[in-house]
Structure 1
Amino acid sequence: MNGMLLNDRKVFVGHFKSRKEREVEFGSKAMKFTNIYIKNFGEDFTDDKLKELFSGYGKTLSVRVMKDEMGCSRGFGFVNYAHHEDAQRVLDEMNGKEINGKVLYVGRAQKRLERQGELKRQFDQIKQERIQRYQVLWDVLSFQPGVNLYVKNLDDTIDDDRLRKEFSPYGTITSAKVMTDSTQSKGFGFVCFSSPEEATKAVTEMNGRIVATKPLYVALAQRREERKAILTNKYMQRMASLRTMASPVIDSYQSGYYMTVPQVCMFFSAYG
């Protein structure tokens, strides 16, 4: 049956492979690439000029500059080598190189299905990170008072596992999450304990402690409304203290008198 035509279509018959096996096989094939993708070389490049630029790295099987309907270069193309080692050397030496005032991009050429698969994996990863991020925020909003800690000034090398490890000596941790922007740490996170006593102990022991290269700031996490109320209360207390300080100065002048605005005296000296 393998190779037979069925309804004008060629049939492929082979051993069944699980998705994981196919991904491993696909990954190993991708590592042995020979076809490279080049872009940003401008509109004046031809097939011959591209071949002249890249043929010095090894035997080429095909060289092609992609053109528009007018026959002009679209600024990108492909070079297929006979050996993977030659293609890898081109990537290592030519990617980022400046040619005629333009910086080349040289990368492994990907088939459409492979590129779509990679984009899907990237999308799934971003989606999963967002789900985890929102789950942490939900935990913060719905936590039992006094068990969730806000930790900031984290070193860039600290991830979820390291954060959990640093706080685990102080009790049972139900969640530990470093907030990230894509894959880069945003420098803060949350640690949730199973009891207020454990959380309080962690604050006492960990606040100000140097982890990796930075001293941590650790405090009980607060809902936005609570934090706003505390800041408002501090502001009102500050304003009240300012009014109290200003009152004796005004009251020291008896009624019926007024204060003159202090005059600034200017002194000039003549230089002979």
Structure 2
Amino acid sequence: MLRGVLLDLAGVLYDGDSPIEGAADAVRRLREAGLPLRFVSNTTRSTKQMVLERLDRLGIEVDAAELFTPAQAARGWLAAHGCSAHLLIHPDLEPDFRDMPAGERLAVVVGDAANAFDYASLNAAFRALNDGAEFLALADNRVFKDDDGKLSLDAGPFVRALEFACGRPATVLGKPSTGFFLSALASMECLPEDAVMVGDDAEGDVAGALRAGLATALLVRTGKYRVGDERQVEPAPTAVVADITAAAEWILARI
């Protein structure tokens, strides 16, 4: 029996500035069924407040405590480890890192920096890593669906380049990090075996959730989904469904 739901945002509830048909109604039906919801996004181009405002404009009501972002996880990591941040992120995300206390050590924080991924910024990050800075990746997705409807490079390829250069792996804070999923579940006191994840990324959302111990993960055929994605990952999705409406119906039949 399912007792908690994790929902991805981009590609599941909205595409760009447009809601995916039926998204608001699907969220409402899940809430009315008494299921606690958490919204787990790997967005690293928007602050948490910007994401909440977008959802509100689209008619999807989400409380700040229900939304989990990699930047939020990074702030917690930096504070817990006494580190200051060397940021290689999108300028729009910088407000989420304001007012951080100075730490005794340095950590390079990499997100989807878009046009800020130039040689100078990448080399500065590499030099900091080479000097011993900690290495944090907000996410390591390969691609995302851009505003023009086409796939674009996400943070993952640049994280891999820095890993290759400095010779050590990054600590990934967003999906598919097990800790990211478990933190969201802990906030609603839901065990992994009682939870379901809904996402459009077979690798980061679905396989990541299943590796984290979730009982169920549904892949929707919206957003960045491409035919055959479900055959490219292990563990494979529990089910592949048309969209968030179909996902909600699947979940509601199993509570």
Q: Normalization by structure 2: what TM-score?
A: 0.21
Bigger proportion of residues as strand: 1
Q: Which has the larger radius of gyration?
A: 1
Q: Normalization by structure 1: what TM-score?
A: 0.20
Structure having greater relative contact order (Cα 8 Å, sep ≥ 6): 2
